[in-house]
Chain A
Amino acid sequence: MDARGEITDEDRRLAAEASGLPEATVYGVSTFYDDLLAPRGARHVRVCTGTACFAAAADAHVDAMRDALGLALGERSADGSVSLAETVCLGFCHSSPAIRDGDRIDAGPGVVERVLGGATAEAAEPEWASVLEEPVLIRPGDWSGLAHALAELEPEELLAEVKQADARGRGGAGFPAGHKWEFARRSPGEQKFIVANGDEGDPGSYIDKYLMERNPALVLEGMALAGYAVGAEHGFVLCRSEYPRSMPALEAAAQAAREAGWLGEDIAGSGFDFDVTIMEGAGSYIIGEDTALLACIEGLRGTVSARPPYPAERGLFGMPTVVNNTETLVNAPFIAMHGAEAYRALSPAGSPGTKLVCFNERFARPGVYEVRFGTPMRELCEELAGGLIDGHRIKAIQIGGPLGGILPASRLDVAFDFDALKAEGCMVGHGGILAFDEQTDMRAVARHLLRFGAHESCGKCFPCRIGLFRALEMFAGEQPVERARLEPLLETLELASLCGHGSGMPAPIRSLVAHFPDELGLV
């Protein structure tokens, strides 16, 4: 993307020369990422089409911007002065709808008028709080966990604590972090890498955004601990281009850590070396998947690879690689400092540890909260987040991202925990809690989710590539949806897809089928 606001073949040739990649490969990359596709005018305006913005405004802000600028999404004005594109999602779900004007993000009531009037303001960042007296995940990182580990624990001992703590991945899949670390530690390789997955693509989530921008030192400390346990000397953080404030915050924290001696060579005189590289994505949800994330870091199309080999065995540049969500990593400093038993005791009525959740703008007190596993969803929604604003009622909530099932208001007594939510066809996922109010058209929700799913399919495996598009077509208009055609399509997506995107997208659709069959127009 240059001064002309679009990528030309000349740019691609230069990129090929600079990177050593074949021209064809560079061309393929330039047609994959959203940021590289939409032409940019002198002023580039991006409307957020995430699920929180949908829940707040039913995409009215998108229509308003389109009409006022006279541009379709992905179009640039003839004189090159302005361009309009969509983006999912800006992570201002506490204050929807959100619009990005250049690198300035505005959100909330009146946003369309402000942007059109040339008065785009910086939206306020969300509030955050912990239900714990001594917060674990929102405690500002001070490198004490790493200091303790380097002084008191051998790498194997730290690994044993993390395994014993049974910290499950917080990015969505819930895979035990200790097992991943052990797999990478045992895998032979000249080098090993730690990758912090900050590609928080879930529409409606701003947990990683909070961590990377407000508590980046704790993320970096978690990475260094993973490096110590696994035997890795370098880490990468992949943050999102949709969060323009993340990369500078991480860079600043890394620089401060280097100056304080917490990153670099011979950390705290221990002989342990560790440093990080901060990178930014270019607009793709699917690179949140581990293998696609590694492809993105390598400068390639963010497509998914079949496993095995697992990244822990053969990952970045063919080396054993731990890919952990940023929130998973921020659990490590507590475990290193206090041990597995203390960690397991944090949530007496549920899974080990605590979890960050975030609420969308429909709630009275949206924000990022550290909560205990096992807390009833009703308590989280009605007490912690204060129920909905302006007397609205919850119709349903989607938990854990676009692949999470949808819980109707009648079932809010379920506990927020891995197994309890699974029994409801839902998941903890990444922890976004997104309310749809009583005005929401649930068929429009199905259409919104499938549009997202089809757009973000990497295009590699056939079921996801074609199946999500066909599912979207089934819900596109107002025509009835035949169960006899929908059911086998969902089954095919679930059982045949290469990764969790295709196999996970049916979950919310199944919830809608179970709880809102009439609104969906099923026959």
Chain B
Amino acid sequence: MQVTIDGRALEVAPATTVLEAIRQLGGDVPTLCFDERQAAFGACRVCLVGLEGAKGPVPACTTPCADGMVIDTEDATARRVVSAVVELVLSELPAPPGEHTELAAVARELGIGDELRWTGAQHERRHDERHPYLAFQHELCISCGRCIRACDEVQGAFALTATGRGFHANVTAGLDAGFRNSTCVSCGACSDTCPTDAITEITLLHMSDGPQ
């Protein structure tokens, strides 16, 4: 089947997603909850693109290509809405994300500065540093679910879960008593995929604080 992305035609295999097609053409759109090693999740809504004939923007990661689709990755409505979503995400963090994180990179790419249109309650600081290698800064968690899927799909350890709901959603290990008291096997797949440094390897966490 054939799709057209930003004016360029592309032949794609069945079951190809719009995001995969965009990347096959060498293009890209920002993502936060997507990790190519994992099943698409469709939570962050940051990969929204314009689709001709659709009522509104569609998420590139969970939308399968259909023959004749015409995609616009620069669709003005999609860009406007995606910027708003990322502003909302930044507004729930008590401190800006580290410069090197994926979240910071996406914010830069979208031209989002320090001035946020919506502010209010933020996640409460809560740290778990009981594990020898892994640290969890819960206030930096944006519930993208990548760590949970890495643990479930890649490692098969099933040590992590989403918790709460709505604005109070977060992630925790085991029965919320830290990585040490869970089925965590210390593989580091969660910290590797985390886009905000909510989960980090302890050595990296301390390096970012400066010399110990």
Tell me whether A and B are bound partners.
Answer: yes
Other than the given A27-B163, A496-B45, 4 more pairs (CB < 8 A) read A22-B159, A463-B45, A468-B167, A496-B48
Select the stretch in A79-87, A316-324, A453-461 that faces chain B.
Answer: A453-461
Q: How far is the CA of A489 from the CA of B159 in the complex (A)?
A: 35
Tell whether, in the assembled complex, residue B175 and residue A465 are in contact, meaning their CB atoms are under 8 Å apart: no
Q: Does A129 contact B (CB under 8 A)?
A: no
Q: Which residues of A contact B (CB under 8 A)?
A: 9, 12-13, 22-25, 27-28, 31-32, 284, 286, 301, 303, 305-308, 454-463, 465-470, 473-474, 485, 488-489, 491-492, 494-498
Tell whether, in the assembled complex, residue A469 and residue B166 are in contact, meaning their CB atoms are under 8 Å apart: yes
Q: Does B20 contact A (CB under 8 A)?
A: no
Closest chain B CB from A75 CB (angstroms):
17
Tell whether, in the assembled complex, residue A495 and residue B120 are in contact, meaning their CB atoms are under 8 Å apart: no
Q: Does B43 contact A (CB under 8 A)?
A: yes
Tell whether, in the assembled complex, residue B40 and residue A469 are in contact, meaning their CB atoms are under 8 Å apart: no
In the A-B complex, the 9 residue pairs with the closest CB atoms: A459-B169, A306-B42, A28-B161, A22-B158, A469-B167, A24-B161, A457-B166, A306-B62, A473-B120
- Contacts A24-B159, A24-B175, A455-B166; A466 near B40 (Cβ below 8 A): no
Tell whether, in the assembled complex, residue B82 and residue A496 are in contact, meaning their CB atoms are under 8 Å apart: yes
- Complex A-B: 21 CB contacts under 8 Å: A22-B159, A24-B172, A27-B174, A28-B161, A284-B165, A301-B161, A306-B41, A308-B62, A456-B165, A457-B167, A459-B167, A459-B168, A461-B44, A462-B43, A462-B44, A462-B143, A465-B167, A488-B80, A488-B84, A489-B84, A489-B118
From B59, B165, B176, contact of A459 by CB (8 A): B165
Tell whether, in the assembled complex, residue A470 and residue B173 are in contact, meaning their CB atoms are under 8 Å apart: no
Interface contacts (Cβ under 8 Å), in number, total 153
From B142, B167, B175, contact of A27 by CB (8 A): B175
Closest chain B CB from A215 CB (angstroms):
33
Q: How large is the interface on B (under 10, 10 to 19, 20 to 34, 35 or more residues)?
A: 35 or more
Q: How far is the CA of A155 from the CA of B142 in the complex (A)?
A: 48
Q: Does B91 contact A (CB under 8 A)?
A: yes
Tell whether, in the assembled complex, residue A306 and residue B159 are in contact, meaning their CB atoms are under 8 Å apart: no
Q: How far is the CA of A459 from the CA of B143 in the complex (A)?
A: 8
Q: Which residues of B contact A31 (CB under 8 A)?
A: 163-165
- Contacts A27-B174, A31-B163; A473 near B121 (Cβ below 8 A): yes
Query: Which label, helix, strand, loop or mixed, suits the secondary structure of the A interface?
Result: helix
Closest chain A CB from B68 CB (angstroms):
17
Q: Does B92 contact A (CB under 8 A)?
A: yes
Chain B 33-45 per-residue mask, 1 if CB under 8 angstroms from chain A, else 0: 0000000111111
Q: Which residues of A contact B13 (CB under 8 A)?
A: none
Tell whether, in the assembled complex, residue A496 and residue B85 are in contact, meaning their CB atoms are under 8 Å apart: yes
Minimum CB distance partner of B184 in chain A: A24
- Contacts A470-B88, A489-B84, A496-B82; A25 near B166 (Cβ below 8 A): no
- Contacts A457-B165, A498-B43; A462 near B142 (Cβ below 8 A): yes
From A22, A32, A465, A492, contact of B183 by CB (8 A): A22
Q: Which residues of B contact A488 (CB under 8 A)?
A: 80, 84, 117
Q: How far is the CA of A12 from the CA of B158 in the complex (A)?
A: 15
From A12, A24, A494, A498, contact of B42 by CB (8 A): A498
Q: Which residues of B contact A460 (CB under 8 A)?
A: 43, 143, 145, 169
Q: How far is the CA of A474 from the CA of B168 in the complex (A)?
A: 18
Q: Does B182 contact A (CB under 8 A)?
A: yes
From B44, B48, B118, B163, contact of A470 by CB (8 A): B118
Chain B 147-190 per-residue mask, 1 if CB under 8 angstroms from chain A, else 0: 00000000000111111111111001111110000110000000
Chain B 82-99 per-residue mask, 1 if CB under 8 angstroms from chain A, else 0: 101100110110000000
Q: How far is the CA of A28 from the CA of B92 in the complex (A)?
A: 21
Q: Which residues of A contact B168 (CB under 8 A)?
A: 459
Q: Does B24 contact A (CB under 8 A)?
A: no
Closest chain A CB from B64 CB (angstroms):
6
Q: Which residues of B contact A463 (CB under 8 A)?
A: 45, 84-85, 88
Interface residues of B in 55-97 (CB under 8 A from A): 56-57, 59, 62, 64, 77, 80-82, 84-85, 88-89, 91-92
Tell whether, in the assembled complex, residue B163 and residue A469 are in contact, meaning their CB atoms are under 8 Å apart: no
Q: Which residues of B contact A473 (CB under 8 A)?
A: 118, 120-121
Closest chain B CB from A13 CB (angstroms):
8
Minimum CB distance partner of B45 in chain A: A496
- Contacts A22-B183, A465-B143, A465-B167; A308 near B64 (Cβ below 8 A): yes
Closest chain A CB from B118 CB (angstroms):
4
Q: Which residues of A contact B161 (CB under 8 A)?
A: 22, 24-25, 27-28, 301
Interface residues of B in 13-42 (CB under 8 A from A): 32, 40-42
Q: Which residues of B contact A306 (CB under 8 A)?
A: 40-42, 59, 62
Q: Which residues of B contact A461 (CB under 8 A)?
A: 42-45
Closest chain B CB from A495 CB (angstroms):
4
From A284, A455, A485, A495, contact of B57 by CB (8 A): A495
Tell whether, in the assembled complex, residue A24 and residue B165 are in contact, meaning their CB atoms are under 8 Å apart: no
Q: Which residues of A contact B169 (CB under 8 A)?
A: 459-460, 465
Q: How far is the CA of A348 from the CA of B62 in the complex (A)?
A: 41
Q: Which residues of A contact B176 (CB under 8 A)?
A: 27
Tell whether, in the assembled complex, residue A459 and residue B89 are in contact, meaning their CB atoms are under 8 Å apart: no
Q: Which residues of B contact A485 (CB under 8 A)?
A: 117-118
Q: Which residues of B contact A470 (CB under 8 A)?
A: 88, 91, 118, 120
Closest chain A CB from B60 CB (angstroms):
12
